[in-house]
Structure 1
Amino acid sequence: MHIYKCSESVIKMNVLLLKEPREGTNGPDPYIKELAAFGLKATLIPVLSFEFVSLNTFSERLFQPEKHGGLIFTSPRAVEAMKMSIEASPMRDEWNMVKEKWNAKSIYVVGKATASLVQDLGLDPLGEDTGTADVLSQLILEREDSRILPLFFPCGSIKREVLPTALRENGIPLETLTVYQTARHPDLEKNLQEYFNQQGVPASITFFSPSGVKFCLETVRRLAGQQLDQIKFGAIGPTTADAMQAEGLSVSCSAEKPTPQHLAAGIARTLQPQSS
């Protein structure tokens, strides 16, 4: 798809993104930057908080690549847990040697953000363009068979079962380990209240996960009141869109791929004045 920028066609509007700012980047968050190119003023509000767990067990597995057929990462948080596990391990000086053993296997990822973090650890990711766990599972099934050692899947406490189910139904051995727990951000209610008080009802609100829909929607409905129907709701992808529709929300746009560029283009198209 050709992504075009046409700032003149969009009146300055407020856009609310229900996600945490990307850490470790210089300058504005990529989503804010891309939306600004369309003349849109974006604000980020963190929805989720994370607690890392089982890092000692995770570390042991990471330094035993010979026991697994490859790795699967479907979220940046799992890669963050991996980085912490490596840095805390008494064997961390051996990582350069160990990572080459992992690179001799398949390192599967969903999305460019996760792929980038995996690359930062010296690993070579596959599947960054898959976009969803559903599509990634198809890639894995095309490449693997039941004779491989178990694929190792570090994941969060709230995970969809699509990928594990697809692999197990097709005889692909899989070993999962919960390495982070997801909860509602403690300041979510306060931050949303302050945003609506200071900036009013935004032209568009985008959700970035089914958990975000679960934790935010009631508050957003209350704060928007009778203006709720005026908001154009966006989703980062089909899984989140499904969760929104299940709650009765009309989804105005769902990003073709989970990238800042694709989401910004979709929101901008949604907010363009309709020609008569």
Structure 2
Amino acid sequence: MASDSASSPDRVPVLLLKTKSSPTDAYQDIFSVPNDDGFPSFEPIFVPVLQHRFEDDGMQQFEKLLRERRINRSADSAYGGLIFTSQRAVEAFAKLVDEGKGDQTWPHLQDIPVYSVGPATTRALKAIPQTPPLQIFGEHTGNGDALARFILDHYGEWYKDRPTKPPLLFLVGEQRRDIIPKTLMDEALPDGRQIEVTEIVLYGTGVMESFASDFADVLQRTTSRPERWVVVFSPTGCDSMLKGLDLLDQATGKAVEKASGVKPPTSIATIGPTTANYLKKTFHYEAKVCAKEPTPEGVRQGILDNMVKDI
């Protein structure tokens, strides 16, 4: 079900196609701040798109590695570090950690590097109980490409005393980009620079059954506004979103232009290039804004910059 702040006809609705984080959500906070320079303020409205399910096989495989202490710094370890690029993967990890309570050394990962793609994933990892705490690196990178390049140097230094670096374990969802494994295992890298990567799928993702009706309801409730924005965080659900906006030709599966003068004008912003490129390649749709940084601040600034251009 969609959730929003107190409705106001003077504010620009920003439809955030994501589940609202608890207990606080950074998008709720930043889009609730009044805008300067005469721009109307925003009204953040959350419309959940994705539903996640843990994958039993992957969860059992990861749990077995943890319980057998195969992820550590020793010479005979199976893996010498972990990679996380989604909060859902961290949630799966947290679930296993919680189930292992009672073991004073659980999950015994204090001696390895844990790589995180950005602030949100890092915050989730820091909340996982571990004494001493997890050693988390890469928060500043912001995307998989930059994280992979950071890992090449950092992990190489971490295991500089090893002729062959131990493999890294990448905890993923069933839908993910392959930029990190490709970069780390690139055969063009100099000898000794390559890092083997193994992926374990911890969760799957699908579109919530209620999304289409929830989205339609929010669009109906905001038809009287002078304009509105839709913020897309993932390729999943893009077809349903375009259908809801009456932008999808059912015969071709490609986007169509809305008739001029249709109210309210609705613009689409994406969290980053992966989703923007998906919209362009799959539906021939060009998002109005692609955030320069995949953060609440980056999305808001992208929308504000676009509003300046349209003046």
| TM range, smaller chain | 0.7 to 0.9
1:123 to 115, 134, 138: 134
Which stretches of structure 1, 4 residues or more, deviate above 4 A after TM superposition? Answer: 222-225
What displacement does 1:19 show?
Answer: 1.1
What displacement does 1:44 show?
Answer: 1.0
The alignment status of 1:192 with 2:215, answered yes or no, reads yes
The alignment status of 1:207 with 2:224, answered yes or no, reads no
The alignment status of 1:36 with 2:28, answered yes or no, reads no
The alignment status of 1:216 with 2:241, answered yes or no, reads yes
Counterpart of 2:253 in structure 1 is none
Q: Hey, what's the Cα distance between the residues in 1 that align with 2:184 and 2:147?
A: 10
The alignment status of 1:240 with 2:275, answered yes or no, reads yes
Counterpart of 2:116 in structure 1 is 109
Give the letter for the 1:75 counterpart. Answer: S
Q: Work out whether residues 228 and 264 of structure 2, in 8 Å CA contact, stay in contact via their aligned partners in 1.
A: no
Q: Structure 1 residues 90 and 30 mapped into 2: Cα distance closer, same or farther (>3 Å)? A: closer
Q: Structure 1 residues 210 and 231 mapped into 2: Cα distance closer, same or farther (>3 Å)? A: same
Counterpart of 2:306 in structure 1 is 270
Q: Work out whether residues 205 and 231 of structure 1, in 8 Å CA contact, stay in contact via their aligned partners in 2.
A: yes
What displacement does 1:173 show?
Answer: 0.9
Deviation larger for 226-235 or 153-162? 226-235
What displacement does 1:177 show?
Answer: 0.6
Give the letter for the 1:30 counterpart. Answer: A
The alignment status of 1:159 with 2:176, answered yes or no, reads yes
What displacement does 1:272 show?
Answer: 4.0
What displacement does 1:32 show?
Answer: 2.1
What displacement does 1:91 show?
Answer: 6.2
What displacement does 1:250 show?
Answer: 2.3
1:251 to 287, 301, 307: 287
Indicate the structure with greater helix content. Answer: 1
Q: Structure 1 residues 180 and 126 mapped into 2: Cα distance closer, same or farther (>3 Å)? A: same
Q: Percent identity?
A: 27
What displacement does 1:73 show?
Answer: 0.1
Deviations 1:166-193 (A, max 9, x none): 2222431111110001111121111011
What displacement does 1:268 show?
Answer: 2.2
2:66 to 59, 62, 66: 62
Higher Cα Rg, which structure: 2
Unaligned runs of 5+ in 1: 1-10
Give the letter for the 2:232 counterpart. Answer: F
Higher relative contact order (CA 8 A, sep 6+): 1
SS in structure 2 at match of 1:251 = coil
Counterpart of 1:52 in structure 2 is 54
Q: Name the Cα RMSD after superposition.
A: 2.5
Q: Hey, what's the Cα distance between the residues in 2 that align with 1:219 and 1:231?
A: 11
Q: Hey, what's the Cα distance between the residues in 1 that align with 2:304 and 2:198?
A: 41
What displacement does 1:22 show?
Answer: 1.0
What displacement does 1:74 show?
Answer: 0.5
Deviations 1:143-186 (A, max 9, x none): 33582111011100111111112222243111111000111112
Unaligned runs of 5+ in 2: 1-9, 36-40, 157-162, 249-256
1:133 to 121, 144, 147: 144
Give the letter for the 1:232 counterpart. Answer: S
Counterpart of 1:99 in structure 2 is 109
